[in-house]
Amino acid sequence: VRLYTCVVGPNPAVVTAFLLERGQTVDTVQVDITKGETRMPAFTAINPAGTVPVLEVDGTYIAESVAICEYLDETLPGQSLLGNTALERAVTRMWLRRIDIHFVQPSSSGWRFAEGLEMCRANMYVMPEAAKDFKIVAAQSLAWIDRLMVGKRFICGERVTLADILLYVFVEFGDRAGQTIDKELGWIAGWRQRMTARPLAGAITMPAAA
Amino acid sequence: VRLYTCVVGPNPAVVTAFLLERGQTVDTVQVDITKGETRMPAFTAINPAGTVPVLEVDGTYIAESVAICEYLDETLPGQSLLGNTALERAVTRMWLRRIDIHFVQPSSSGWRFAEGLEMCRANMYVMPEAAKDFKIVAAQSLAWIDRLMVGKRFICGERVTLADILLYVFVEFGDRAGQTIDKELGWIAGWRQRMTARPLAGAITMPAAA
């Protein structure tokens, strides 16, 4: 397999964090999104959505970070970050979707339609007047997650999963990019400390991604 | 297992369509969302997001339609609607996420913040001034999918998958709820005919869900 990725941006960092936590490496090809390489024909032939990361497997190209991580989880040796049973995987996937829809998407839209507007305008339909609302939705969702997590060590209980990785990466990127995380969210604060101590945190703290 | 579901709304219909296509049934409990039952404490104790469907498995509650379908796919006998190999499942999950983020979410937001506004206002942060933009994004995304599908029979090629079910349910509901599908989208038109001929289409055509 070969991973087309980039040292900036949260979506590539999700796969990087996943690989760090699993202690695995794969061949990588760096794509420079700051030069618009993901929007050039050579790349959109690989991923018509024009996004990284993309995983090449036997001539097939898999886009979307969570789909890539699920594939790697199924095929790499070591401890699963989805779960060891169908029920554990179901709980992980429920949380992955809740985090994606309620936090990752509004947080990303909030950034794309405000701080990232000039970069994003050429590539998508933008809603700049809605940026503030998206940021409010993201912040409210994080407070909702904070309340639901009381008594748990990680999102799905005692085990670290891809759901933790997805939330952590977008929380850390958001916090550094105009969506400061509310320090009053006590569970989130403690969980960020637990996450920062793990191998996966290398995907956030590496200088180029900061 | 026991499925908490409802005869109205596209998300319950995704799981219904999945079960029809697999030729399987599970015990169901009907929840009346029109009476606000999903927002009552007895139900939010099961799913704090206040949504159906929810699948109960040995006292654990799984929410989110796609997570439920993945669980059923792993545990029920018969032909998988995710894929038979890790790579097939990865392709399906890539398309599931693209369809969810680019079409299902903006289409749903377009409805919730316009036709569904009075019903949704009490349960979520609403963005009524953005409803029109969400509908434009959904329509543009469907045209994008239409262009990418040329030459394929179903979303992932020759095999019918959960990605087809997700898109089909939201296309059909959207078409009946103020987001008429552009007849010029030739691939979508042919694919809707192929989908309508399948068992899964029963989830759309049953009178209560129309």
List, in order, residues 6 or more apart from B26 with CB less than 8 Å away: B1, B2, B3, B19, B55, B72
The DSSP letter of residue B4 is E
pLDDT above 90 covers a percentage of chain B that reads 93
How many degrees, rounded to 5, is the angle at CA B162 between CA B83 and CA B15?
130
Q: pLDDT value at position B34?
A: 85
Q: pLDDT value at position A34?
A: 85
- Tell whether the model's pLDDT for residue B30 goes beyond 60: yes
How many degrees, rounded to 5, is the angle at CA A95 between CA A149 and CA B31?
95
> Tokens in use for A193?
């400390």
Average pLDDT, chain B: 95
Other CB atoms within 10 A of residue A132 CB: 12
Q: pLDDT value at position A162?
A: 98
Q: pLDDT value at position B206?
A: 52
CB B162 within 8 A of CB B66: yes
Other CB atoms within 10 A of residue B109 CB: 23
What is the Cα–Cα distance from B174 to B159, expressed in whole angstroms? 24
What is the Cα–Cα distance from A5 to A170, expressed in whole angstroms? 17
List, in order, residues 6 or more apart from A87 with CB less than 8 Å away: B57, B58, B60, B62, B71
List, in order, residues 6 or more apart from B190 with CB less than 8 Å away: none
Widest pairwise Cα distance in chain B = 49
**Least CA distance to B45: which residue of chain A?**
A148
Asked if B127's CB is within 8 angstroms of A67's CB, the reply is no
Closest CA–CA distance from residue B41 to any residue of chain A (Å): 14
Q: pLDDT value at position B207?
A: 45
Residue B69 one-letter amino acid = C
The DSSP letter of residue B7 is S
Q: pLDDT value at position B75?
A: 98
Asked if B127's CB is within 8 angstroms of A64's CB, the reply is no
Beta strands A27-30 and A2-5 are parallel
- What is the predicted ipTM? 0.97
Q: How many helices (H) and strands (E) does chain B have?
A: 10, 4
Minimal Cβ distance to B125: which of A91, A105, A140: A140
> Tokens in use for B6?
């409802």
Interface of chain B toward chain A, CB-CB under 8 angstroms: 48-49, 55, 57-58, 60, 62-64, 66-68, 70-71, 74-75, 86-87, 89-91, 93-94, 96-98, 100-101, 105, 125, 127, 129-130, 133, 136-137, 140, 144, 148
Closest CA–CA distance from residue B15 to any residue of chain A (Å): 14
What is the Cα–Cα distance from A118 to A95, expressed in whole angstroms? 32
Q: Per residue in B68-98, is it b (16+ CB within 10 Å) or e — as a string?
A: bbbbbbeebeeebbbbeeebbbbbbbbbbbb
Per DSSP (E only), the strands in chain A are 2-5, 27-30, 54-57, 60-63
Closest CA–CA distance from residue B195 to any residue of chain A (Å): 24
A134-158: pLDDT as tens digits: 999 999 999 999 999 999 999 999 9
List, in order, residues 6 or more apart from B2 with CB less than 8 Å away: B26, B27, B28, B29, B55, B56
Q: Considering only CB atoms, which chain B residues are within 8 Å of A71?
A: 86-87, 89-90, 93
Minimal Cβ distance to B86: which of A75, A89, A100: A75
What is the Cα–Cα distance from A101 to A96, expressed in whole angstroms? 9
Residue that has been written with the tokens 């996450």 in this structure: A195
Q: Considering only CB atoms, which chain A residues are within 8 Å of B144?
A: 48
Which of B122 and B143 is assigned the larger pLDDT?
B143
Residue that has been written with the tokens 């036997």 in this structure: A58
**Least CA distance to A96: which residue of chain B?**
B67
B72-121: pLDDT as tens digits: 999 999 999 999 999 999 999 999 999 999 999 999 999 999 999 999 99
Whole-model pTM over 0.90: yes
Query: What parts of chain A have a pLDDT lower than 50?
Result: 207-210
Interface of chain A toward chain B, CB-CB under 8 angstroms: 48-49, 55, 57-58, 60, 62-64, 66-68, 70-71, 74-75, 86-87, 89-91, 93-94, 96-98, 100-101, 105, 125, 127, 129-130, 133, 136-137, 140, 144, 148
